[in-house]
Structure 1
Amino acid sequence: MNNSRRTFIRSASAIVAGAGLVSALPSSLRAMAPSDRLNIAAIGINGMGWNDLNAILKNPAARCVALCDVDKNVLDKRVAELTQRGYAVKAYSDYRRLLEDKDIDAVVIGTPDHWHCLQMTDAVSAGKDVYVEKPLGNSIAEIKAMVAAQERTKRVVQVGQWQRSQKHFQDAVAFVHSGKLGQVRLVKAWAYMGWMHSIPKQPDGTPPPGVDYKTWLGPAETRPFNPNRFHFNFRWYWDYAGGLMTDWGVHLLDYALLGMKAANPTSVMAAGGKFAYPDDAAETPDTLTTVYQFDGFNIQWEHATGIDGGPYGRDHGIAFIGNNGTLVLDRGGWEVIPEKGKMEAVPRQLSVDNGLDLHAVNFLEVIKSRKLEDLHTPVQAGAHVATIAQLGNIAYKTGKKLNWDGDKNRFDDSDANKLLAAQYHNGYKLPKSS
């Protein structure tokens, strides 16, 4: 686990202990009888899937009844941990068998990105509600199919963009919407990841004992097993994910879009590459600048690995740059830096809650109420920012400035349009979007 995630999870436990969270639960969840508790299962439990599940299990309204992972070492470890905590847990290596269990109400999907689409669409088709990790899908075609599946089945689907559940993020956006910053012409979002170092090349080899590598590959192209592509580092390979753009970008660009009430950009262009570690094992760019043009303003994304000194002295954040002042927002808080003589400064407003825990509460409450409009990150919201991130990666891959038609989900460039859909392999088929 990287330092940023480790710090977040550690602080999560400190900020919202179980008892404190229970007192904050809606009455509809606190009053649930043991026989009415929601039966939760999790698919992919090595990283954020495990963290998501544990955030859900802080609520007495939920209990874990099943786990699934293609790495038996991880699966056995997690089953043992939950058994010690008093849960009777079934173990599966095939998520499709798990979905056949009629007693399961909802599933957490924490697998690598290239599996999200198949597992989410299968889960809602099986009548399960879903908490799916971000990014929603690994291609624009997958994203479209996932939205169609949710709208067809009407299941609850919460996307793991937990910042939408945090008060200080909401307060910052409300300040932007107040108009006090004046005209906002540029929004910057960035992730400077000093903890990310070069990934040394390693030879192909044999999967570790207990790992069903064929199933792990799923719809991705068949390749020999390489430890660099497995577990956490899958993020830096195009077969399975989209690099920092889809890892951190969907979190931060989401709030850039919310602050500007932005729909679809008219164009996108991107430039970057493997400038820091040109010869290491990763495929995705370690340095990238992407510019999205909207009517009347631009949103700029940038990331750099091996560097912590990002804009405004922060390793990540969003800056709304207005004529009167600039609001700078990150996971720790927000502040306003005024233009001289145009407005008053707003000192840093610190984060006071835990987004992941609150996101879990919101998910459970909507499962109970069936009021889909109350979800903090419904599938449509996750689809919006995931599509924006994919646009940036496609612009990078083509090296062109691309015009985008959001209504038709098409570029004006044939090379770019070829990248709208991920290529499925090994007998898997992309779910239909209509």
Structure 2
Amino acid sequence: MHSRRKFIAQSSALALGGLALQSFNTRNFSRTRTSAADQIRIGAIGINGMGWADTVSMLKNPGVTLAALCDVDKNVLDNRMRELSKMNIDTSKIKTYTDYRSLLDRKDIDAVIIGTPDHWHALIMIHAVQAGKDVYVEKPVGNSIAECRAMVAAQEKYNKVVQAGQWQRSQQHFRDAVDFIRSGQLGNIRTVKVWCYQGWMKPGPKVADSAPPAGVDYKLWLGPAKTRPFNSSRFHFNFRWFWDYAGGLMTDWGVHLMDYAIFGMDAPVPKTVSALGGDFAYPELYQETPDTLAALYQFDNFNLIWDHAMGIDNGLYGKDHGIAFIGNNATLELDRGGWEVLEEKRSSKKVSMQRKGPSDNGLDKHTQNFINVVRSRKLSDLNCPIQTGAHIATVCQMGNIAYRSQAKVTWDKAANKFTDSKLNAAYLMAPYHNGYTLPKI
């Protein structure tokens, strides 16, 4: 089982284990052959989860130097600085910040990593490109369709390198599977099934509001989100279960899995979306987003079915996540552990393929791709530019909007919005509070 839990655990182990120490050995690192012009100084904003894994991965690239860390939680900052010391990195030259704007004011920083909660992604990314920085922004790139559009507009206006953190776009076995799909051997693909069963993921308990922990700038953590009393079950990892900050499992895992469903089918936004779900697994825990959700996406030539469930692991084909491309001749099943082609017995064209596993580290290849493009300035070489990230985030947002509105939503392709004006008013833009506004690009 190749779950997010295992991926994060492996990333953390790599950061503190022998491989990382070898990669960060100051003696070896200082001897990499990179000219002064090739040196890239990075800053990381939001380093409690994937932002830290991204940072560790980015630093494996020769000529990349960590100049700054930023997080609203001083406890996280202190922990990361201790971990860097264990990696034999000279932390005396790494400055720490609570407010990302102070980091962006640094003229000597070339690129930033954004690993904050989702509701901060758009604002920081736009401010970063305005400040002249290249950006690696975690997924989902935006917490609303309007944010996604603004992020694309900002990248295009300022012409900076912006990579979305959908690292599977750089992993070889995913790309090999797409090549097979596009070869036509599966026959007409009538249905794509995407499932995400995550037994290990669950919300926090219902607890009383409290004072923020010492060292946490909670007001800055909220940022453009609605002001609410601090609650430990809405904080750090659990932010993803609340609409103020994120979109639940649909946008957390969905942007990875739906990405390859859409990529494999070379599909635009869907024509219609319907969704049903609820808090069926953990009704006693603290959450707003559904722990169980089924969404049906209608495209011109195929249907896409999304199915997620927290609290259980027994998904289709015995896997806790995956994508199945169901064709007339065969079905291709793809997940983080590999891909295979299952023969359709009634087809006269016998097509099958034994399971092929992964051969590389997708995250490391993804950050390497970003660094390569930062140097080359060939934006077309990015494996997951902001335009791709925004497209997939939009598709996932549409599923959540269908669920939240309890309506079959219809997309007007020409107008680039829903046919129902009430849906556009209620859901296209995540409301901004506390004096924050989304810049008009």
Q: What range describes the TM-score normalised by the shorter chain of this pair?
A: over 0.9
* Residue identity in the other structure for 2:84: L
The superposition leaves residues 132-177 of structure 1 with CA deviations (integer Å, 9 ceiling, x where unpaired) of 0000000001111100000000000000000000000000000000
**Structure 2 CA distance for partners of 1:198 and 1:99, relative to 1, 3 Å:** closer
- Once the two structures are overlaid, the 10-residue window that deviates more, 291-300 or 1-10, is 1-10
Aligned ranges 1:146-165 → 2 under 5 Å: 146-165=151-170
Task: Give the match's secondary structure for 2:427.
Answer: coil
- Once the two structures are overlaid, the 10-residue window that deviates more, 8-17 or 309-318, is 8-17
- Once the two structures are overlaid, the 10-residue window that deviates more, 397-406 or 315-324, is 397-406
What is the CA–CA distance in structure 1 between the aligned matches of 2:106 and 2:15, rounded to whole Å?
31
What is the CA–CA distance in structure 2 between the aligned matches of 1:194 and 1:53, rounded to whole Å?
28
**Structure 2 CA distance for partners of 1:93 and 1:7, relative to 1, 3 Å:** closer
Aligned ranges 1:244-283 → 2 under 5 Å: 244-283=249-288
**Structure 2 CA distance for partners of 1:198 and 1:128, relative to 1, 3 Å:** closer
What is the CA–CA distance in structure 2 between the aligned matches of 1:381 and 1:20, rounded to whole Å?
34
What is the CA–CA distance in structure 2 between the aligned matches of 1:149 and 1:234, rounded to whole Å?
26
State whether structure 2 residue 132 is matched by structure 1 residue 127.
yes
What is the CA–CA distance in structure 2 between the aligned matches of 1:12 and 1:308, rounded to whole Å?
25
User: Who is 1:431 aligned against?
Assistant: 439
User: Who is 2:5 aligned against?
Assistant: 3
Match for residue 340 of structure 2 among 310, 335, 346 = 335
* Residue identity in the other structure for 2:74: K
Could you tell me the TM-score, scaled by structure 2's length? 0.93
What is the CA–CA distance in structure 2 between the aligned matches of 1:15 and 1:376, rounded to whole Å?
28
What is the CA–CA distance in structure 1 between the aligned matches of 2:57 and 2:415, rounded to whole Å?
38
Could you tell me the TM-score, scaled by structure 1's length? 0.94
The superposition leaves residues 254-301 of structure 1 with CA deviations (integer Å, 9 ceiling, x where unpaired) of 000011010121111111111112232111000000111000101111
Task: Give the match's secondary structure for 2:204.
Answer: coil
**Structure 2 CA distance for partners of 1:165 and 1:306, relative to 1, 3 Å:** same
Match for residue 46 of structure 2 among 44, 47, 56 = 44
* Residue identity in the other structure for 1:160: G
Task: Give the match's secondary structure for 1:173.
Answer: helix
User: Who is 1:412 aligned against?
Assistant: 419
Retained in 1: the 8 A contact 2:412–2:418? yes
What is the CA–CA distance in structure 2 between the aligned matches of 1:31 and 1:167, rounded to whole Å?
27
State whether structure 2 residue 218 is matched by structure 1 residue 213.
yes
What is the CA–CA distance in structure 2 between the aligned matches of 1:166 and 1:15, rounded to whole Å?
23
**Percent sequence identity over matched residues?**
60
**How much has 1:18 moved relative to structure 2?**
6.3
**How much has 1:367 moved relative to structure 2?**
0.3
* Residue identity in the other structure for 1:412: T
* Residue identity in the other structure for 2:427: L
User: Who is 2:231 aligned against?
Assistant: 226
User: Who is 2:62 aligned against?
Assistant: 60
**Structure 2 CA distance for partners of 1:21 and 1:349, relative to 1, 3 Å:** farther
What is the CA–CA distance in structure 1 between the aligned matches of 2:344 and 2:16, rounded to whole Å?
37
What is the CA–CA distance in structure 2 between the aligned matches of 1:198 and 1:91, rounded to whole Å?
30
- Once the two structures are overlaid, the 10-residue window that deviates more, 401-410 or 173-182, is 401-410
What is the CA–CA distance in structure 1 between the aligned matches of 2:262 and 2:53, rounded to whole Å?
26
Contiguous gaps of at least 5 residues in structure 1 = 23-29
User: Who is 1:323 aligned against?
Assistant: 328
User: Who is 1:421 aligned against?
Assistant: 429
Contiguous gaps of at least 5 residues in structure 2 = 25-31
Tell me how many residue pairs correspond in the alignment: 427
User: Who is 1:358 aligned against?
Assistant: 365
State whether structure 2 residue 177 is matched by structure 1 residue 182.
no
Retained in 2: the 8 A contact 1:15–1:354? no
RMSD: 2.2
Match for residue 82 of structure 1 among 81, 84, 94 = 84
**Structure 2 CA distance for partners of 1:13 and 1:167, relative to 1, 3 Å:** farther
* Residue identity in the other structure for 1:200: P
Task: Give the match's secondary structure for 1:188.
Answer: strand
**How much has 1:21 moved relative to structure 2?**
8.6
What is the CA–CA distance in structure 1 between the aligned matches of 2:336 and 2:140, rounded to whole Å?
18
* Residue identity in the other structure for 1:246: T
What is the CA–CA distance in structure 2 between the aligned matches of 1:313 and 1:257, rounded to whole Å?
23
Task: Give the match's secondary structure for 1:326.
Answer: strand
* Residue identity in the other structure for 1:116: H
Task: Give the match's secondary structure for 2:285.
Answer: coil
What is the CA–CA distance in structure 1 between the aligned matches of 2:167 and 2:35, rounded to whole Å?
27
The superposition leaves residues 97-121 of structure 1 with CA deviations (integer Å, 9 ceiling, x where unpaired) of 1101000000000000000011000
**How much has 1:14 moved relative to structure 2?**
12
- Once the two structures are overlaid, the 10-residue window that deviates more, 81-90 or 152-161, is 81-90
* Residue identity in the other structure for 1:221: K
State whether structure 2 residue 394 is matched by structure 1 residue 387.
yes
**How much has 1:413 moved relative to structure 2?**
1.4
User: Who is 1:26 aligned against?
Assistant: none
User: Who is 1:349 aligned against?
Assistant: 356
What is the CA–CA distance in structure 2 between the aligned matches of 1:206 and 1:125, rounded to whole Å?
35
**How much has 1:306 moved relative to structure 2?**
0.5
Retained in 1: the 8 A contact 2:38–2:375? no
Task: Give the match's secondary structure for 1:164.
Answer: helix
The superposition leaves residues 200-240 of structure 1 with CA deviations (integer Å, 9 ceiling, x where unpaired) of 20100000000000000000000000001110010001000
- Once the two structures are overlaid, the 10-residue window that deviates more, 177-186 or 397-406, is 397-406
